Amino acid sequence: MIHDLKSKKILVTGGAGFVGSFVVEKLLEGGVAREDIFIPRSADLDLRKWGNCQRAVKGQDIVIHLAANVGGIGYNQYKPGELFYDNLSMGIHLMEAARQTGVEKFVSIGSICSYPKFAPVPFKEENLWKGYPEETNAAYGLAKLMALVQSQAYRQQYGFHAIHLLMVNLYGPRDKFNLASGHVIPSLIRKIYQAKRAGKNFIEAWGTGKATREFLYVEDAAEGIVLATEYYDKPDPVNLGSGMEISIQDLVVTIARLMDFHGEIRWDTAKPDGQPRRRLDVSRAEKEFGFRPETTLEEGLKRTIQWWGTEGRKIYGQ
């Protein structure tokens, strides 16, 4: 089933957030009318509550569920209960409300954190169930994975058109540059900025630097989500990523170089590395709906650093 999005009413949860704001822009560029995109705000509709989910999906043709409680390793360590409850309850309630209301298609956004800690690299979708996730983000990863179970069960019993996309680590402008809860790239950019401003000749980074990660630029991710919304309609989950892999040590060195920071990098090995390696097999996304990311890591980092320098630091009072 191919969905002509220009003729649809589309609910984008989290549409004012990091990824969601870019998804909305892609929808508008594709010809969807602004008045046909509904972006609920958490202050008005707490999607952990059943009644609010019913109100959110009323009159909608398509739901793209991007709202999430999410953060970096430290945030996952400190708030696993909140992360499990918030993400699980939002997903379960929203999908059930969408099914009951007769929504045509539901796009569920999962996470690379759902993969087993020692999954074979590159991660293939069929390996999702071959082990327990890495402990520091297991609560979040499993809560997101339940949306896949729900979507497959609803498709089997009700013929409900739900798909599940497994998102790799994202970065880019409008990300959360909060040192306590942010992901690795925005946290490093802010740390280096603050070190330079304070005249410090070092920064501290978590772990050993040996762990590897894959990163996808947020605009590419938004493009992939919209393509899947239009063209993908199967029960199998799909990885969305860049297919690249870089060690955290090399990432820190690259960001430092791009920000012209020449100080020492001190590794706090008392802090966790998280999952040892992360790299996705992204062939299914290209085969099924033609997704191929265009932004290199270097170019994406330059754009993210530029945004922090012109917009982000003002938002964060820097």
pLDDT at 178: 87
DSSP for residue 111: E
- Confirm if 270 and 316 have CB atoms less than 8 A apart: no
- Which sign does the torsion angle of CA 128, 138, 71, 245 carry? negative
d(CA 97, CA 106): 11
Least Cα distance to 11 among 71, 89, 95 occurs for: 95
Rg (CA), the chain: 19
Helix (H, G, I), strand (E, B) or coil at 154: helix
pLDDT at 42: 87
- The set of residues, in sequence order, having a beta carbon less than 8 Å from that of 84 and lying 6+ positions away, is 139, 140, 142, 143
pLDDT at 34: 97
Cβ contacts of 173-179, under 8 Å, gap ≥ 24: 173/218, 173/303, 173/304, 173/307, 173/311, 173/312, 174/17, 174/18, 174/21, 174/22, 174/218, 174/307, 175/18, 175/218, 175/304, 176/18, 176/71, 177/308, 177/312, 177/315, 177/316, 178/71, 178/316
d(CA 209, CA 222): 29
d(CA 47, CA 42): 7
Domain ranges of the chain: 5-171+215-243+279-294
d(CA 11, CA 20): 11
d(CA 121, CA 229): 27
Q: Among 75, 85, 115, 140, which one carries the catalytic annotation?
A: 140
pLDDT at 1: 62
Instruction: Give 10-residue mean pLDDT values along the chain (318 residues).
Output: 87 97 97 97 94 98 96 90 97 98 98 95 97 95 97 98 97 92 92 95 94 97 98 98 96 97 95 92 98 97 97 89
∠ Cα 210 312 213 (to 5°): 20
pLDDT at 83: 97
pLDDT at 221: 98
∠ Cα 276 76 315 (to 5°): 110
The CATH number for 5-171+215-243+279-294, chosen from 3.40.640.10, 3.30.420.10, 1.10.3720.10, 3.40.50.720, is: 3.40.50.720
In the residue annotation, 171 being an active-site residue is answered as no
As beta bridge partners, residue 295 has none
